[in-house]
Amino acid sequence: ATSRPLRIAVIGTNYLGANTAAGMAEFGFDVVGVEIDEHRLKLLNDGKAPLYEPGLDPLLKKHVDSGRLRFTKDYTEIGDWADVHFICVGTPSSEGSDAADLTQVNSVVSMLAPLLTKPTLVVGRSTVPVGTSKVVEARFHAEAPAGTSIEIAWQPEFLREAHGVDDTLHPDRLVFGVQSAEAETRLREVFATPISEGTPVVVCNLPTAELVKGGANAFLATKISFINALAEMADATGADVTQLADALGYDKRIGRGMLNAGPGYGGGCLPKDLRAFMHRAGELGVEEVITLLREVDDINRRRRAGLVDLTHEVLGGVWIGKNVTVLGAAFKAGTDDVRDSPALDVAGRISLHGATVTVYDPEAMENARKVRPTLRYASTAAEACVGAHAILHLTEWPEFRELDPAALRGAVETPVVIDARLLLDAAKWRAAGWTYRAPGKP
């Protein structure tokens, strides 16, 4: 045991890395984050996250100011300095394939391994296909100076965007994929704070730890597609899927989380992780997993297509000359992230059909413009609704629930609203003279 605080290196400072670095400083350790992009590096060293995440900037600022946290682009500053190295880089989809692209993970190994000359624990947090940690280990041993003892552990994270700080400081559980008692002891030291608060720890082997992450996201996606399939049953019978979800959710074995019906899951994680998981199952010859999850993915795709069809229906079967307002561009509320966003996907498809689409989002306008430059963008929700033949509520920002349907009534061409998130006050909209449609609700 050392008397000085543990020294933690966090490699990669995107969503996961920025939260991890700030969280480790909050736990009381000396932290150095590695970021190779100059612009992002400057932001981080000013205590600013290079992304929108509630609560993250203050935590970064606090620890950049306290001197416990700093960022560098120079791997030589972390090599033998750190007691533990966390790998937090992204694993996007490969070009033209569902397989995870491990380029960034591999380049971390190539940069770090030659600098390690004393025994080191390297902990992977990135979401990877099961089996990756063993490959990473082999590469470290091949690329590190002969005789250095490097141990690999895997410690998956389960952060949700918009709740990243809380999920980092107070995780539901900790999973330690380790190969030795020393690695477990070290990880218990790193996570002493949440462990002392009662966070359960699962200590397991490497493939188990890798599978937990993919398995968790596949299960969450399955829950969402399950409730979305029930939304179709509700539509066919006059049932209300929200009440159905509430009633199912009270069963402790089921739980209410991830049972909000809507436009389906999007974002930078669930869709790509599910496909990468299926891809890996295919490589391993586990057909059951592919068969099960392919339908989960298909249901999810059909949600978006269904919303486009419903829009066509409420527009009287005509696209040309119609104005459609899309409320929301982020893949969910609380973030400016538009990766695989159902809202932007639906907006883009409607626009391709020939309708004029105007989008408004409180945080994601800049990112939305980058990926969908041909859509129109308004500076307020009310402005986006002017002249609309149909309004689509696609991202669940609280401010959309505050819209006054009576006031909006005069601004639109046709008072039709499609509440894909099932969160607007149906009675209020109908009382103000609107046609209110919500898939899954009578």
Which residues lie near ligand UGA (CB under 6 A)?
127, 158-161, 217, 220, 224, 258-260, 262, 265-267, 269-270, 273, 331-332
Least separation in angstroms between residue 43's CB and ligand UGA is 21
Least separation in angstroms between residue 216's CB and ligand UGA is 6
Q: Is 61 annotated as a binding residue?
A: no
Q: Which is nearer to ligand UGA, 79 or 267 (CB)?
A: 267
Q: Which is nearer to ligand UGA, 61 or 160 (CB)?
A: 160
Q: Is 118 annotated as a binding residue?
A: no
Least separation in angstroms between residue 262's CB and ligand UGA is 4
Q: Which is nearer to ligand UGA, 221 or 378 (CB)?
A: 221
Q: Which of 88, 204, 269, 385 is catalytic?
A: 269
Q: Is 441 annotated as a binding residue?
A: no
Least separation in angstroms between residue 304's CB and ligand UGA is 11
Q: Is 103 annotated as a binding residue?
A: no
- Whether 204 is a known active-site residue: answer no
Q: Which is nearer to ligand UGA, 6 or 245 (CB)?
A: 245
Q: How many CB atoms lie within 10 A of CB 126?
A: 25
Q: Which is nearer to ligand UGA, 226 or 436 (CB)?
A: 226
Q: Is 159 annotated as a binding residue?
A: yes
Q: Is 430 annotated as a binding residue?
A: no
Using alpha carbons only, how large is the chain's radius of gyration in Å? 24
Q: Is 339 annotated as a binding residue?
A: yes
Least separation in angstroms between residue 315's CB and ligand UGA is 25
Active site amino acids? 269
Annotated binding site for substrate: 158-161, 213, 266, 332
* Residue numbers belonging to the annotated binding site for NAD(+): 40, 91, 127, 161, 272, 339
